[in-house]
Chains A and B, each alone.
Chain A
C-alpha cells in the first residue's frame, strides 16, 4: 500500500504549537476583572512575604506602652496593636502568609486526589465505580473533625504540614463527586468514542480527553475551596488544633478581633478586610479561568 503522505521530506513548520495552556493564558489576559483580581492576589502575597521586614516590630513582641491602640496613632504601629500590644500590621501579614499557604496547598492536595479519583471512578464505571464511590460515602459519613483530631494527635500538634494533609484529605470528597458526575456526562460523548476508535489508551483518554473537559467546574470549585480551606483552618485554630499562639492565621486573628468588636473594631476589620479581598479576588479569578479554559465560549 502506498504511503498516503510522504514523511520523507519533512515540511518546515514555522509556527510553534502554543499548547492548551498557552491559549488559556492568552484568553485570560483579555479578561480585565480576573487580571485585576490576579494582580491583587499577587500584591497581597508579595506584601505578606516582604511587608513584615519593613516594620520595626516582631510578630510576637509585646509593646507594653501601646496596648490595643488604633491605627494612625502617634507611634509606628501602622495598623494598631492587639489586646496584648502586638503589632497588628505584622501579625496580619503573617496570618495572610499562613492562610494562603494552607488554602492553596490543601486545595492542591484535594484537587489531585479528587480529580484522579472521580475521573477514574466515572470513566471505568461498573464495580470499580461502585467501590470507589462507596469509599467516599464512608469518609463522608465520618465526622471530618474526628479525622483531623486523630491525625493531629498522631503527629505533632500544630504542625502546619499535618494540617495541610488533614484538611486536604477531607476536602477531596466533594471534588471527587463533582468530577465523577462530569465524567459520566461526557464519557458517552461521540468524541470519546472517536478517540477510542483511533486506539487511544485508557489513561490517555482520561488525562487528555476527559480531565481537560471537566477542568471548568473543577477550577470553579477549587477557587471556592481555597476560601473554605482558609475558613476551616481558622476553625481548627479556634479549637486549638490549628496554628498555635503566638503564631497567627487570618482566621485566628478574626476570632480574636471579633471578641473586641465593640471596643476596638480595627482588630476585626484589619484581618477581615484582607480575608474578604482575598476571597473576592479568588472568585473573580476562578470566573476568568473558567472562561479561559473553555474555548467554546468565545
Chain B
C-alpha cells in the first residue's frame, strides 16, 4: 500500500522552505524559524543543543515536534520565546508575523508573549503561581496586554474558564491552583494562554504530566481550539499517539536536528528515517501477543556535548554504513517528506497509524462527555 501524495506544488515550494514542503497554500506562515541554533556555554565547554532548525507553521495548522529527551525540541521553542537561560547563545531567525523575535529585548518580546504568541507548559502542578487565585492569573495578561479594567478582565476570565470546559467556573475563579486537580490546572493554563486570543500556541508536552483519560480530554480541547479559532499550534511531545491524534505535520528531532519532516500520514504511516521507524516500532501495539518482548532502540540518546561524527544516529542504526559514520546527511526533500538520511528505508507501510488508533479512539470517546 503506497499512499504518499507528492504534489508538484509541494515540491516546488519545498525547494526553498522546508516547512512548507507538503502544502502549497498561499497563506503566509505565522511563525517561520530559519536555521535556528542554540548552544549553551558551560564550564565544561560549549554544548550545542539545537542545530540548524527550520520550520514554518501556518494558521490553523498543528505541527508535532517529537524526539527523545535532549533532542532539542523544547529548547528550540524556548529560544523562540526568548526564555532560555542566560548562558545560551541563539543564532538564526525566527519571524513571527513577519517580525524577527530573536535577539530582541525582553520589553519588546513582552508585547508579543502572552498576547499573540502563547505557551503552555508541561507541568500544570508547578506552572501556576501558587499564591495567586486562578482568576487573577488569567486576568493578569488581559490587564497587561489589553489594558482591561479588572472587573471586565474577571468576567472574561470566567468566560475563558467556561471555554476550556472547567466545571463550576464561577467558584474556580476564587480558588488557588492547589485546590484544583491536575487536569483542571492544565485547563487553567490553557485559559491563561488563550486569554488574549493568540494567533499561535506553543504547547510543550501539555499532556505528559496527566493521566490518560485527562490527556485525551486536553487533546480534544486543543483540537477544538485549532478547529474553531484557526490557531497555529506547535505540539512538543515524545508521545507519537498524541501527534497522531491532532497534528497535521510532524517533525522528528534527533541530536538537536530535524531528521524527518512531513505530514502525519506520511511520517507515521511510512517512516523513511531509521530513527522514526525505530521509534514507531518501540511503541507497544494492542494486537501484539501478550508475551511479545517490548522493542527498544539499542543504545542511548546521544550526549549533545559529544555528538557522534557523521549522522548522529549511526551508532544506533541498523542500516549504518561507512558513509554515515563519516558524513552528516543533509535534510533533503524526498517524495514529499524531508529527510536527513543517506540510506532511507524503502517505503513500507508499518500500519503505524492503525496501531496509534488507540489514543485516538480514547480521544473520540472522551469528547462527548465533556460539558460544553
In the complex, whether B145 has a CB less than 8 A from a CB of chain A is yes
Is B321 part of the binding interface, using a Cβ–Cβ cutoff of 8 Å?
A: no
Are B118 and A2 neighbours in the complex by a CB distance under 8 Å?
Answer: no
A5 touches B156 (CB 8 A): yes
Chain B 111-123, CB within 8 Å of chain A: the 1/0 string? Answer: 1111100110111
Q: Does A73 contact B (CB under 8 A)?
A: no
Given A17-B154, A295-B130, A193 and B178 contact (CB-CB distance below 8 Å): no
* Among listed A155-163, A202-210, A221-229, A265-273, interface-contacting one: A202-210
Kindly report which residue of chain A lies nearest to residue B138, judged by CB atoms.
A198
Check if B252 is an interface residue, CB within 8 A of chain A. Answer: no
Contacts of A213 in B (CB 8 A): 129-131
Task: Indicate whether A198 sits within 8 Å of B113 (C-beta atoms), given known contacts A5-B159, A295-B178.
Answer: yes
B192 touches A (CB below 8 Å): yes
- What is the interface residue range for chain B against chain A? 35 or more
> With the chains together, A7 CA to B152 CA distance in Å?
8
A201: chain B residues at CB < 8 Å are 107, 110, 144
Check A294 against B131 for contact (C-beta < 8 Å).
Answer: yes
CA A204 – CA B129 in complex, angstroms? Answer: 13
Quick check: is B81 within 8 A (CB to CB) of the other chain? Answer: yes
Which B residues are in CB contact (< 8 Å) with A1?
197, 199, 229-230
**Chain A residues closer than 8 Å to B151, beta-carbon distance:** 13
Shortest CB-to-CB span from B74 to chain A, Å, is 11
Q: Mark A residues whose CB is within 8 Å of B.
A: 1-7, 10-13, 15, 17-18, 20, 125-126, 189-191, 193-202, 204, 208-209, 212-213, 293-296
Which of A126, A189, A193 is B86 in contact with, Cβ under 8 Å? Answer: A126
In the bound assembly, the distance between CA atoms of A190 and B125 in angstroms comes to 9
Nearest Cβ on chain A to B68's Cβ, whole angstroms? 21
In the complex, the answer to whether A194 meets B131 with C-beta atoms within 8 Å is no
CB distance from A60 to the nearest CB of B (A): 49
Can you list 25 A-B contacts (CB < 8 A)? A1-B230, A5-B163, A7-B156, A11-B159, A12-B155, A13-B151, A15-B170, A15-B173, A17-B136, A17-B154, A17-B174, A20-B132, A191-B129, A197-B121, A199-B114, A199-B144, A199-B145, A200-B114, A200-B141, A201-B107, A212-B131, A212-B132, A213-B130, A295-B176, A296-B176
Indicate whether A17 sits within 8 Å of B133 (C-beta atoms), given known contacts A193-B127, A196-B83, A199-B141: yes
Q: Which of B107, B112, B113, B160 is within 8 Å of A5, CB to CB?
A: B160
A88 to B299, CA, bound (A): 83
Interface core residue of A13, A204, A209, A293 (most chain B CB under 10 Å): A13
* Choice from B112, B115, B121 contacting A193 with Cβ under 8 Å: B121
Question: Any chain A CB within 8 A of the CB of B220?
Answer: no
Please name all residues of chain A whose beta carbon is closer than 8 Å to the beta carbon of B150 when the two chains form the complex.
17
CA distance A194 to B156 in the complex (A): 20
If A1-B230, A4-B197, A17-B174 touch, does A197 touch B83 (CB 8 Å cutoff)? yes
For residue B212, CB closer than 8 A to chain A, the reply is no
Q: Is B253 an interface residue (CB 8 A)?
A: no
Docked Cα-Cα span, A20 to B133, in Å, equals: 8
Residues of the B chain whose Cβ atoms lie less than 8 Å from the Cβ of A209:
129, 132
Q: A5-B163, A18-B174 are in contact. Are A197 and B123 (CB under 8 A)?
A: no
Which residues of B lie under 8 Å from residue A15 when comparing CB positions?
170, 173-174
Q: Is the CB of B114 within 8 A of A198?
A: yes
A42 to B156, CA, bound (A): 42
CB-defined contacts of B118 to chain A, threshold 8 Å: 197-198
Interface of B is mostly: helix
**How near does chain A come to B65, taking the closest CB pair, in angstroms?**
17
Partner of B127, one of A7, A12, A194: A194
Q: Which of B128, B158, B170, B174 contacts A191 (CB 8 A)?
A: B128
A213 CA / B86 CA spacing, docked (Å): 23
Instruction: Determine the distance from Cα of A76 to Cα of B215 in the docked complex, in whole angstroms.
Output: 78
* In the complex, B106 has a CB within 8 A of chain A: yes
Neighbouring A residues of B144 by C-beta, 8 Å: 198-201, 204
B126 within 8 A of A: yes
Task: For the A-B complex with A7-B156, A198-B144 known, give 10 more contacts whose Cβ atoms are closer than 8 Å.
Answer: A1-B230, A4-B194, A7-B152, A7-B155, A10-B155, A13-B154, A17-B174, A193-B121, A194-B121, A198-B114
Q: How far is the CA of A293 from the CA of B176 in the complex (A)?
A: 12
B109 on the interface (CB 8 Å rule)? yes
Residues on A with beta carbons closer than 8 Å to the beta carbon of B133: 17, 20
Q: Smallest Cβ distance from A125 to chain B, in angstroms?
A: 7
By a CB distance below 8 angstroms, the chain A residues around B173 are 15, 17
Smallest Cβ-Cβ distance to B148: which chain A residue: A7
User: A10, B152: Cβ atoms under 8 Å?
Assistant: yes
Q: Which residues of A contact B61 (CB under 8 A)?
A: none
Find out whether the CB atom of A199 lies under 8 angstroms from the CB atom of B115. yes
Q: Decide if B113 touches A197 in the complex (CB within 8 Å).
A: yes
Task: List chain B residues, Cβ under 8 A from A13.
Answer: 151, 154-155, 158, 170
Name the residue in A12, A17, A191, A204 with the highest tally of chain B Cβ atoms < 10 Å from its Cβ: A191
Is B135 on the interface with A (CB-CB < 8 A)? Answer: yes
**B193 on the interface (CB 8 Å rule)?**
yes
B130 engages A296 (CB within 8 Å): yes
CB contacts (< 8 Å) of B174 on chain A: these are 15, 17-18
Measured CB to CB, the closest approach of chain B to A224, in angstroms, equals 22
Chain B, 147-172, CB within 8 A of any chain A CB: 150-152, 154-156, 158-160, 163, 170
